[in-house]
Amino acid sequence: MKINEIFYSIQGEGKWTGLPNIFIRTTGCNLRCSYCDTKYAYEKGIEKTIQEITKEIKKYKCKKICITGGEPLQQKDIIELINHLIDLTYNILVETNGSLKIDSLKDKKNLIISLDIKTPSSKMHEKMFLQNINLLRKKDQIKFIIKNKKDYNYAKKIIQKYKPKCDIFFQPVWKTNSEKLAKWILEDNLKVKLGLQIHKIIWGDKKGV
């Protein structure tokens, strides 16, 4: 499969925030979000076998792997890679953009599904396959990236309609006002977690961290 980068860093988003993770970033994405911070993963990458990927990640002592993109579910042998890594006793978190069906992930042990639901400011919200939310388990997570009040209200409506069982993260678009988002959450006493991209707070908005 085509891999953009493999690196070791601190997880900056979601329920593993703050924990050391190995990151496997696949190349290619079927969406074009207005605020995308990983455009470098649209095309660039190197074809690697599962054996080559495994050899690379074994350099690190860490047992937590975040598979991200791009959009990992576009890779035809992604499930084979995931199964292989689970057999090697890794804990996996798969970040997926919400537009593709997640059925192939839902029965896996030691795997967390991190489902993005794109809001209107992304300009990709109409491409979401919202029925995915019904497949999420308690251990999974949903991430809404919020730029403004319209996005916030949109995310709120989705939550009210689908009532997800898992953790829900509201994450401001990088460099937008997180204080406003915090205020809206508090005013509504919303049962969501405010997520800040701590890897960017530590290292800035750059590749490989």
Q: Distance between CA atoms of 44 and 46, rounded to whole angstroms?
A: 7
Rounded Cα distance between 189 and 168, Å, is 13
Q: Binding ligand SF4 by CB under 6 A: which of 11, 91, 97, 197?
A: 97
Q: How far is the CB of 132 from ligand SF4 (least distance, A)?
A: 14
Which of residues 32, 55, 183, 207 is near ligand SF4 by CB under 6 A? 32
Two tokens, residue 190: 């919303």
φ, ψ for residue 165 (rounded to 5)? Answer: -85, -15
Indicate whether 129 belongs to the interface with ligand SF4 (CB under 6 A). Answer: no
Within 10 angstroms of residue 190's Cβ, the number of other Cβ atoms is 16
Tell me if 162 sits within 8 A of 130, measured CB to CB: yes
**Residue 38 interacting with ligand SF4 (CB under 6 A):** yes
CA dihedral 131, 136, 141, 144 (to 10 degrees): 10
- Which residues ranging from 42 to 81 are in contact with ligand SF4 (CB under 6 A)? 69-71
Candidate segments 29-37, 52-60, 152-160, 197-205, binder of ligand SF4 by CB under 6 A? 29-37
Min dist CB 70 to ligand SF4, Å, is 5
Positions touching ligand SF4 (CB under 6 A) are 29, 31-33, 36, 38, 69-71, 97
